[in-house]
Amino acid sequence: MSKIVSFFIILMLILSSQVNTYAAENQPLEIKSEAAVLVDSETGAILFNKNGDERLYPASLTKIATAIYAIENGNVEDVVTVSARAEKEEGTRVYLVAGEKVPLIKLIQGMLINSGNDAAVAIAEHLDGSVEQFAENINKYLAEKIGVRDTHFTNPNGLFNENHYTTAIDLALITNYAKKNPVFTEIFGTKELGWSGESWETILLTHHRLLKGEIPVEGITGGKTGFVNESKHTLATTAENEKIKLTAIVLKADSSKDSYKDTEKLIEYGFTSFKHSVIKQNELFTINQKEYYPKNDIVITEHVNGSKESITDQGILEVVTDGQVSQSIQLEVKEPKPIKVKEEKLLSSERSSINILYGIIVFAFAGLFLGVRKRLVKR
């Protein structure tokens, strides 16, 4: 009896081990934040995704969108006159004064580096006349220019509003897009900056502890923090090494410590687990007797242990990592070329048939003519 019991205990341990191994393969990281994504900044491949499509409150990560919108739709050399509404905006500020004149670029710096809510309102009013019009315009801009799918902003700074929401994936899209702009990239990676205003002279220091170096992680290139009670702690971070560039977004962490720990895990995972490879121009992929190809060389992000490539019926090349589609690329369909040789042979054959027909007709007329001529001669 004891042998039977021992056998079942061993069997249960084996099965338990197999289940845990499977879970570990499909959940490579233990992330505490409600939502988190890790994205290759260059290829857009999603390398890790936990609730990436869940609508959540971004808090001050909103300012990433406001910054790139202002850079692309305004003139950074413009001088902005601060309004009374901007001066009175609640939360973190750079202590602007109504009537103060500040260059737009300086407001963007104060908004991103010191998370100035007042600077964000001054930017919105300068660009679009009011916060309300700004909200309408930026939502259209984010959808049409960047391609977000589930984002709606009501203000430029992320102060809580039930209708002010986004997703981790959308924020990664916005950050990746913004990072392509050198003006944004420089400000996003600034650790400290001298500030001189009518009511405040100081050294602005980034609030992002990884960027600041308080938490030592190699390769950090930029970052933005966020917090309101309803959103809890949010964090956007970019990092790179010689192999890959990464964007990490974490939303709704219970503590600042959790948001940084999660971000550290994501970045380490990206650096150690992924690499780039190239699909060459005109490489052929076949499905249902149709051939597809990329028009140009395409960089894809693969797991160091290998990723799978498959093609859909619509000619979309999918890179699959850990059972999830990490990257999708639309290929071109290869149209079958007309076979000229066969056409020429066909034409030649047709000509031969026509010539034979003409020959028969001529021969028949000749025979008829000779027959008639003989009859006439006999007469």
Q: Residue 176: its pLDDT value, please?
A: 97
Q: Is the pLDDT of residue 379 over 60?
A: no
Which residue from 36, 134, 140 is spatially nearest to 86, judged by alpha carbons?
134
Question: Averaged over 234-257, what is the pLDDT?
Answer: 97
Q: Which two tokens stand for residue 254?
A: 């219970």
Q: Is the pLDDT of residue 279 over 60?
A: yes
Q: How many CB atoms lie within 10 A of CB 122?
A: 29
Q: Residue 75: its pLDDT value, please?
A: 97
Catalytic entry in 33, 41, 60, 259 = 60
Q: Is the pLDDT of residue 318 over 80?
A: yes
Is 310 annotated as catalytic? no
Looking up tokens 């392509």 gives 180
Is 115 annotated as catalytic? yes
Specify the amino acid at residue 51.
Answer: N
Q: Is the pLDDT of residue 291 over 70?
A: yes
Percent of the chain, pLDDT > 70?
A: 82
Catalytic entry in 41, 83, 115, 231 = 115
Pick left, alpha or beta for residue 189 (phi over 0 → left; psi -120 to 50 → alpha; otherwise beta).
alpha
Who's near 361: CB < 8 A, 6+ residues apart? none
Pinpoint the residues of the chain covered by CATH 3.40.710.10.
33-272
Catalytic entry in 63, 106, 232, 252 = 63
CA atoms 114, 118, 120, 122: torsion sign? negative
Pick left, alpha or beta for residue 297 (phi over 0 → left; psi -120 to 50 → alpha; otherwise beta).
beta
Is 60 annotated as catalytic? yes
Who's near 54: CB < 8 A, 6+ residues apart? 34, 35, 167, 168
Contact of 104 with 78, CB cutoff 8 Å: yes
| Superfamily classification of domain 33-272 | DD-peptidase/beta-lactamase superfamily (3.40.710.10)
The pTM for the full model equals 0.80
Contact of 236 with 248, CB cutoff 8 Å: yes
